[in-house]
Chains A and B, each alone.
Chain A
Amino acid sequence: MRAWLSTAWVLVWKDLVQEWRSRDVLTSMFAFAVLSLFIFNYALELSPINRAEIAPGLIWVVMVFAGTLGLNRSFAAEQDQGSFEGLMMAVPELSVIYLAKMITNLLMMFGLAILVIPIYSLLYNQSLFDLRFFGILMLGAWGYSAAGTLISSMTVQTRMRDLLLPVLLFPLLLPVNMAVVKSGSAIIAASSVPEFQSWINLLLVYDVIMTVVSILVFEYVIRE
């Protein structure tokens, strides 16, 4: 277990260093997110009441679409130089590659949320600086990264990977999307926790199941 975790950390470090030096993925994700928020701001002409209602959905949609750009590239370094096969020969267990990629994608989504919330608050004149709301976004990001990393590992080996990833991933994300939007709306409307507890439970269950199942099936997916 210790070797498994330390290997995962080494792989996360490698992904972060690679990304920091190239800034390929972060730049496109952040640019897409900021532009989307601008476009929605001018296109929707929202009243203050409507803003509060659609804020969680709007932010989550922006994060999911921007995050897909990152997911599409998450195995790109391995694909470009065939390093995936190098990793397969070296790591103690193949599932550790999945875990590392999932953590990296989650960290990317964390960075995205940190960027999107202040920009939204500024553009839409509505403060979303609420730790509970941020926590819900992160729970959603966990489920998104867990499912997205697995699907990405499948589609990266295909010719139409850019198209296939969202087509396969988005239906799988339906429970996450609903839970994030419903519980986010409840937090903004200052509802008490018991009122949206079931949505948080759904998110937690989805995250844990998706992560565990993905770890278990990852070796089969990449070998077949």
Chain B
Amino acid sequence: MRFEAKKLCKAYGVQRVLQNLDISLQSGELVCLLGPNGAGKSTLIRLLSGLLKPTAGEITIDGTLADFSEAEIRRRIGLILHQTFLYEQLTGLENLQLYARLYGTRLTESDLKQLMVRVGLGKVRPVPVRSYSRGMKQRLTIARALLNEPQILLLDEPYTGLDQQGSTMLNQLLIEEKEQQRIILITTHELSFIRQVASRFDILHRGKIAESIPNADMSLDELQERYNTVVNNRVKVQTEAAP
């Protein structure tokens, strides 16, 4: 499967966030989107999930224009954003049951409990999510995003709130999802963790993918240096442009 965005533009009023951005994602590929705060990473994730409409450009799946008004298209995407999408008064299992029913899956209670075990919540008492820690909520959010086995995973800062063990668990899940030929796009600043699983790094710069770096090519230090060079260039250009 191929998931692509061509000449994607997004503007909020006069502020142009993305300009003629092209990105292509293949099955079994885990692409890490890098960029400083405000670069437009979250906007791109929202556009690719259909939650935002682009100002211009198109998003295609296997060459066909993605029509996000179709439930079938929306349900092919597993999404993690900054907010958890969880209901605070429901328990972890009830939240998963709710989403499983909404997605129309045939998952049983034991399937969902198994999913909770996968994200390290197997031994949690059935208490409302409001009493969960941030890390526990994030683990449940990961389970929620995976429960309908989506073909495309769009993950915005999924390591947020996770401890060392949680980040390792997430990496393990990402490896398994990759092996199942899912398309994964992830934004994070946790380079040391994502470097273990990413196929390539795309650096978002001035509304476009400025550099695309295959993971095998360089060490963590080299990657950090390349990233800093792109970001500093951006700062330099902005400073020079200022009156």
Contacts and interface: CB of A to CB of B under 8 A. Distances in A.
B101 A85 contact: no
A87 interface: yes
Contact of B71 (A21, A83, A91): A91
A81 interface: yes
A80 B88 contact: yes
B84 interface: yes
Contacts, number: 71
A189 interface: no
B75 A18 contact: no
B101 A10 contact: yes
B102 A7 contact: yes
Contact of B102 (A10, A21, A77, A81): A10
Given A89-B79, A93-B71, A82 B85 contact: yes
A128 to B, nearest CB: 34
Interface string B98-118: 110111100000000000000
Interface string A173-204: 00000000000000000000000000000000
Interface centre among A82, A86, A87, A93 (most CB of B within 10 A): A86
B99 A86 contact: yes
B187 interface: no
Chain B at the A interface: mostly helix, strand, loop or mixed? loop
Contacts of B87: 14, 18, 77, 81, 83
A92 B98 contact: no
Interface residues of A, number: 26
B189 interface: no
B84 A90 contact: no
A154 interface: no
B220 interface: no
A11 B102 CA distance: 8
Nearest to B77: A89
Nearest to B53: A223
A88 interface: yes
B164 interface: no
Interface of A: 3, 6-7, 10-11, 14, 17-18, 21-22, 77, 80-83, 85-93, 219, 223
Given A81-B86, A83-B83, A86-B85, 11 more contacts: A7-B104, A10-B98, A11-B102, A18-B89, A80-B88, A81-B83, A81-B85, A87-B102, A90-B74, A90-B103, A93-B71
22 contacts: A3-B104, A10-B98, A10-B101, A10-B102, A14-B90, A17-B89, A18-B87, A18-B90, A77-B87, A81-B83, A81-B88, A82-B81, A82-B84, A85-B51, A85-B79, A85-B81, A89-B75, A90-B102, A90-B148, A91-B102, A92-B71, A93-B71
